[in-house]
Amino acid sequence: MTLTKILLPLWASSLLLASPAASLYKKECKGCHGSKADKVAMGKSKPINGMSVTSLDKAMKEYASGKRKSMPMVKKMKKKFIKKYSKEEAQAVYKLIEGM
């Protein structure tokens, strides 16, 4: 096996992890949802990895508005995320999660 075959995938995956969406996920989501979005957040939610962009967007908006029942802290966190980041930034994070 050549060195290129080993290093190229490592280099490519490091670029993916360094993307703005990955940085944003790490900063805002990883603590509750885990590094692969496969954690049961707050001991209540189902893992979000693999959810569609549309489903993630809908859930975020419903949690933030209070339409979807959740703990007050969760509502506050989702509302803060929606206000703090642009629609494009949020969509990039949702696409990242969808692909996990």
Domain map of the chain by residue range? Answer: 20-98
pLDDT at 42: 86
Query: What are the 10-residue block averages of pLDDT along the chain, 100 residues in total?
Result: 56 59 94 94 90 96 93 93 96 95
Instruction: Tell me if the domain spanning 20-98 has CATH number 3.90.190.20.
Output: no
Judge residue 86's burial from the number of C-beta atoms within 10 Å of its C-beta, 0-12 exposed, 13-18 middle, 19 or more buried: exposed
pLDDT at 45: 85
Closest to 19 measured CA to CA, from 80, 98, 95: 95
